[in-house]
Amino acid sequence: MNTNRMTNVLAVATACGLLATAAGCVEATTNALEARPPAARRMQVELVIAEVQPLAVSTGFTGNLLPRRRTIVVSEVDGIVRDIPAAGPKIDVEVNGKRYVEQLGIGYGHEVKQGDLLVQLETADFELELLVARAKLAKVEADLAKLTSWERPETIERLTAVRNEAKARHDQAVAELVRAEKLGNAISLSDLDGRRTDAATTAAILGSHEAMLRAATAGPTKEELAVLQALVAQADAEVKQEELDLTKATIHAPYDGVVTDMFVEVGERVSAASGQILELMDLRFLVAEVGVPEAYMSRLEVQDRASVHVAGAIDPVPGLIVSINDKLDPESRSFRVRVAIDNNEKRFKAGQFVRVALNVGTQNEHIVLPSHAISFVEGQPGVFVYHNGIATRRTVMLGLSNEDQVEILSGIRVGDSVVVDDPALLVDGMKVDVRESTSEQS
């Protein structure tokens, strides 16, 4: 073979290797190879057998870090802020010869434990309302006790004596009437009428005293008891409500966390309607939320591993999928995935930008080949299949890929022998030899 011609061929091949994307590269390579004498066209190639195998593919998605929990602490009652604990950092500096020493109150960046005091409202009004409610309860309880006891024993004894006296007088009047009626004409008609009047009068008086005694011994009616019992229950509920309002004037941390914003100062009035006090976050671990295309929906599961690269950090940190939203956004055609990362050392902040790498690899669904087995002609991917000493180009459809491998969706079959080295130097129908290290497949 002419030395100059071989030099030209190698020069063209080298240029194509460096400028694979340049227009006309493949055509130049083909022309150079075709210009070689037939005896020099056979080149040695390495083969791989096409087979279905799993492909580990890590795809990146962008999102933001969210706190484990976020709470806007509010006031449930109206009131004026009386105190914010001086639990913040202490300032002790000297500026222009003047020293400033101050213990700051709770502010953003301050760590709190569950139950710690956050804000204290004025309690004087709540304490007064509680005293009024307790006095009202005592009054209705006394009324109920009086109604329940009804009459004292001495009152009943007095009414019994009066009734007995009225009965005795009535018995006497009846007896005198009986005697007068037996006398017949011996007593005047006016005296007889007088005896009859006395008997009727004493009977009426006796009936009145007996009714009073029955009422004294019978006790209150069910209706009277029900009314007072309802008043007692109402007054008791008012006391409990006032006690609860008094406790609500003292606002505590609902859980361990970090104060990320403070909305009030001492002396400000807050209301139950819009009484935002502060923002609290639990940052012991953070959650990276990303949108994932629907094509990967069946490839992710809760507790799958992930890699999270936080903006500003040098190295990625391990993550774990903790939730997958079953709802698909109809506009973006994506679903939300949350990946948790540990933050006990407080390296990261809520709201930081992140890039999450998720493993969306296949599950033995398609043929997988080395990435360098793929060559492109006019933008179309293809591979060279070896058979009986001939390399035949086949156009293929590519699927997922990683740094080393690529998924073949169509174009070749399981068991095909595929050329894996220097495919850019081959042309369709070219005669090749298989390297001795690789067994020939036909």
Domain CATH for 330: 2.40.30.170
Residues 242, 132 share a domain = yes
**How many structural domains does the chain have?**
5
Range with lowest mean pLDDT among 113-117, 172-176, 286-290: 172-176
CATH of the domain at 375: 2.40.420.20
Residues 414, 305 share a domain = no
Q: Which range, 8-22, 155-169, 231-245, has the best average confidence (pLDDT)?
A: 231-245
For the range 115-118, what are the long-range contacts, defined as Cβ-Cβ under 8 Å and sequence gap of 24 or more? 115/252, 115/253, 116/85, 116/87, 116/252, 116/253, 117/85, 117/250, 117/251, 117/252, 118/73, 118/84, 118/85, 118/251, 118/252, 118/253, 118/277, 118/278
**Of 342, 359, 376, at which residue does a domain stop?**
359
pLDDT for res 20? 39
Amino acid 72 reads I
The more confident residue out of 251 and 424 is 251
Does residue 103 carry a pLDDT above 80?
no
Give the mean pLDDT of the chain: 83
Does residue 218 carry a pLDDT above 80?
no
Residues 301, 349 share a domain = yes
**Of 359, 394, 415, at which residue does a domain stop?**
359
Does residue 102 carry a pLDDT above 50?
yes
Does residue 145 carry a pLDDT above 70?
yes
In a domain, 387, yes or no: yes
Residues 298, 233 share a domain = no
Find the farthest-apart pair of alpha carbons in the chain and give their distance in angstroms, rounded: 183
Residues 22, 48 share a domain = no
Residues 339, 394 share a domain = no
Domain span at 36: 1-40
Cα distance between residue 304 and residue 289, in whole Å = 15
pTM: 0.56
Residues 134, 241 share a domain = yes
The more confident residue out of 363 and 379 is 379
Residues 355, 287 share a domain = yes
In a domain, 425, yes or no: yes
Residues 191, 162 share a domain = yes
In a domain, 381, yes or no: yes
pLDDT for res 183? 78
**Of 336, 359, 382, at which residue does a domain stop?**
359
pLDDT for res 368? 92
Residues 207, 185 share a domain = yes
CATH of the domain at 176: 1.10.287
Does residue 75 carry a pLDDT above 90?
yes
Strand-pairing partners, residue 407, are: 368
Strand-pairing partners, residue 338, are: 289, 323
> What mean pLDDT do residues 14-37 have?
43
> What mean pLDDT do residues 278-291 have?
93
In a domain, 441, yes or no: yes
Of 429, 425, 422, nearest to 46 (Cα)? Answer: 422
> What mean pLDDT do residues 25-49 have?
60
pLDDT band at 152 (very low <50, low <70, confident <90, very high): low
In a domain, 299, yes or no: yes
In a domain, 438, yes or no: yes
Does residue 24 carry a pLDDT above 70?
no
In a domain, 266, yes or no: no
Cα distance between residue 272 and residue 253, in whole Å = 17
pLDDT for res 16? 39
In a domain, 82, yes or no: no
The more confident residue out of 29 and 351 is 351
Of 298, 296, 288, 293, nearest to 331 (Cα)? Answer: 293
Q: Which range, 107-111, 230-234, 294-298, has the best average confidence (pLDDT)?
A: 230-234
Cα distance between residue 249 and residue 128, in whole Å = 14
Cα distance between residue 207 and residue 293, in whole Å = 96
pLDDT for res 151? 59
> What mean pLDDT do residues 122-128 have?
95
Residues 49, 13 share a domain = no
Residues 328, 299 share a domain = yes
CB-based contacts of 145, cutoff 8 Å, min separation 6: none
Render pLDDT for 254-267 as a digit per residue (tens, 0 to 9).
999 999 999 999 99
